[in-house]
Amino acid sequence: MKIKEQIEALREELRQHNYNYYILDKPTISDYEFDIKLKKLQELEAKHPEFYDPNSPTLRVGGEVTKNFITVVHEHRMYSLDNSYSKEDLLDWEKRIKKLVDGDILYTCELKYDGASISLTYENGNLLRAVTRGDGFQGDDVTANVKTIKSVPLKLKGNYPQKFDIRGEIVLPWDGFNKMNEERIEIGEEPYRNPRNTASGSLKLQDSAKVSKRPLECLLYNLTGTNLNVNTQIKSLEKAREWGFKVPNEAKLAKSIDEVLEFVNYWDIHRHDLPYETDGIVVKVNNLQQQEELGYTAKAPRWAMAYKFKAEQVSSQLNSISYQVGRTGAITPVANLEPVELAGTIVKRASLHNADQIEKLDIRVRDKVFVEKGGEIIPKIIAVDLTKRPKDSQPTKYITQCPICETKLVRKEGEAQHYCPNFNGCKPQIIGRIQHYISRKAMDIEGLGGETVALLVNKGLINNYSDLYELTKKQVIPLERMAEKSADNLINGIKQSKQIPFERVLYALGIRYVGETVAKKLAKHYKSIDALSFTSIEDLVNVDEIGEKIAESVVDFFSSQENYRIISRLKQFGIQMELSAEVLANHTNKLDGKSFVVSGVFVEISRNELKKLIEDNGGKVSSSISSKTSYVVAGDKMGPSKKTKAESLNVPIITEQDFLKLIS
C-alpha cells in the first residue's frame, strides 16, 4: 500500500474508533490498541508532511498555542432564550404562539445543559471553525482548543449539507470534574468551583495541549443555515447524529404542553442521575416553518422557551447594606452576606433592588435571610427568617443622599428607584457612562477595559467620553499595568472607533432607555444626530415602538448644554454622527407608514431578506394581522387562518413578486 493510502486508511480507522467510543459509547478496540495506531499515524505524518490534514485524528492531542483569540462575527446570530418558571408561564407562551401560527403545534423537549455555548461551522464535511457565543453577535475563535475535544467530529459521515453551523454546549461531566479536583487537591491547588465555569475557562486556555487533557464533551442541539433539508427540530437532531455529532438521546417530541410538563416533572427528579450539570428544559416549536413564521424578538426566538428548575436556596446572615451608583445615577442597594456556597459558587452579595423591596421584606442588618440564584445566575434574597431576628433589631432606613457625592437623591413618581441627579459631577456615573461607551456592543474600543477607564477618570485624565480622543500615549503609559504595547493598542483602539457606524454611536451615548434596538430605530428614522437632537416628544412618539418614556428621555438628553458640548466635540474628532452614504443608498421612504405581515415559504428571496427590504424601505414588519396591517406578503404554504383573517379585515394579500414591484 502506498504511504498516502496507508495514512488515509489509518486516519479513517481512528476516526471510526473515536466515533464508536465517544459518540456511541461502544468501543471495539482497547485503549492500548488505539494508542499504538495513533502513534503509528503520528510517525508517518512526521516523515511525510506533504500529506498534512488539518483535521487528522493526531491533532486531538493539541500543541497549538493561541496568544490572542480572534473575534469572529457570527454569520447567524446566537440568541439567548426567554425563561419560564411555572406551568402558567408555559401556558402563556403557548397562547402567544398560537395567535401567530396556523395548525397544530408539536414541541421538542431537550435538556438544558449548563456549560459554555459554542458554534461549530462545517464546510464540505470538515470542521472549519469553532466560535464562542460572546455577545451573540460575535465571539472568540477557539478552533484549536475545540479540536482536542474527542466528541467534536473533525470530519462528518453520510449525506451532510455543503456548509452549515451547529450550536451546542461544551460541558465537563461530573466524573471528570471530580477527578480533576482530586488531582488538584493532591498537589495542594485550590479545587475548581463548578463544571460550568471550568468548561468555559478551558476554551480560553492558550495551550491546546492542556485543553486536550481535560475530559470535555460537546453536546449539540441546533442546526443553523440554508438548504439543510430538514423540516422539524426532532429530525434535525436525528440528522446531526447520523453525521457523527454527539446529540443527547433524552430529547422527546411532545404533542401538548401537558406532555411537556410530564417531561419537565420527570427530569426535575432524575436530572441528578445525569452525568452532566443541567438547570432546566428547553422547549421548542418542532416545525421549522412555524419557527420561521414566529421569528425573533430583539433578544430571543419566539419559538423557544427555557423552563428553569426551581433554584437552590441557602440561609445566610445579612452583615450590612451598601449602595451602588449606576451610570444613569440609579441607586441599587446591595446586601453584604456571610459567605455561603450556592449552586457551585461562593455568594457574598445579593441585590436588594430598591427601597420598596427592602420595605416589603422588612429586611434588617443581622437578619438571617434565605438566598437563591434567580435563574441560577444572579443571587437574590427571597425572605427573612423572622424567628431568628435579634431583639434589638432596628428597621432599615433608606439613604437620602448619594453615597459618593452626597447629592440629595430624587425619586420620580411611578419609579421604583432613587437617583442621584448629579449627572456630570458624580464619579460612578461618569465612569459608568464611559465604560458603556467603550463596550463591545457600543464603540468596541480594543485595548481599553473598565478598570483602565476608572484609572483614567480617577487620575483626572478624562471626565467624559469625548476626552478619550485627546489622550496621548505619553499620558497613559504611566498608568498601573500599562506597558508600551498596551498603550499603543489603547490609542489605536480609540482611533479605530471613529469608524463605528452611527446607530452604535447613538447606543454608546448612554441615553436612558435607548438600548441597541431603539438606537437602530432612531438612527434609521432620523438618519443623523442633528435631526434627532432637534426633534420633539410629539414627533418621537410617532416613531414605531417609541413610547413617551423613551421620547422624554431623548429630549432631556439633548436639552443638556453639557451633552450638546460633548456631542460637538465628538463631531470634531470625526465620530460617525449620521448614517453612512452606503447605508442611505440602500434606504428609501417608499414604504413609510406601511405595516407588513410576512407568511409562508418564499422562492426568490428568503423570509429574512424580505423583512430587511421592508425595513430598509421605511416599512414596519409585524408578526400578527390587524386592521392596521397594510399588506400580507404571502408565500407558499401560508396558514389558512392568516388568509381568513386578512380577508375578513380587507387587508390586501400580495405575492413576493408584487412586493418587489412595490419597491422597484
Quote the CA–CA distance of 223 and 221 in Å, as a whole number: 7
Query: How many Cβ atoms sit within 10 Å of the Cβ of residue 182?
Result: 10
The distance from CA 250 to its chain's CA centroid, rounded to whole angstroms, is 25
The distance from CA 620 to its chain's CA centroid, rounded to whole angstroms, is 25
CA atoms within 13 A on the CB side of 77: 14
Quote the CA–CA distance of 199 and 219 in Å, as a whole number: 13
The residue length of the chain stands at: 664
Angle CA 385–391–396, to nearest 5: 70
Residue among 326, 325, 324, 356 nearest 512 (CA): 326
Pairing of strands 653-654, 631-634: parallel
Pairing of strands 345-351, 126-132: unpaired
Residue given cell 436612558 in the structure block: 512
Quote the CA–CA distance of 456 and 450 in Å, as a whole number: 10
DSSP 8-state symbol, 226 = S
Quote the CA–CA distance of 553 and 537 in Å, as a whole number: 9
Quote the CA–CA distance of 253 and 285 in Å, as a whole number: 10
Residue among 466, 460, 464 nearest 424 (CA): 464
What grid cell was written down for 343? 449552586
Annotated active-site residue in 37, 40, 47, 112:
112
Q: How many angstroms separate the Cα of 100 from the Cα of each of 68, 94, 291, 625?
A: 45, 10, 10, 9
Write the DSSP assignment of 331-366 as a string of letters.
EEEEEEEEEEEETTEEEEEEE--SHHHHHHHT--TT
The alpha-helical segments, DSSP class H, found in 274-340 are 288-294
Pairing of strands 368-374, 313-325: antiparallel
Work out whether the CA dihedral 341, 320, 393, 370 comes out positive or negative.
negative
The distance from CA 605 to its chain's CA centroid, rounded to whole angstroms, is 28
Helix axes 257-270, 87-100, angle to 10 degrees: 140
Active site residue 112: yes
Measured in degrees and rounded to the nearest 5, phi and psi for residue 222 equal: -150, 125
Decide: helix, strand or coil at residue 562. Answer: helix
DSSP 8-state symbol, 382 = E
> Which residues does 238 contact at the CB level (< 8 Å), separation at least 6?
none
Q: Which helix (H) or strand (E) holds 372?
A: strand 368-374
Q: Which helix (H) or strand (E) holds 479?
A: none
- Which amino acid, residue 84? S
Q: Which residues pair with 597 in a beta bridge?
A: 622, 632
- Which sequence positions are flagged as catalytic? 112
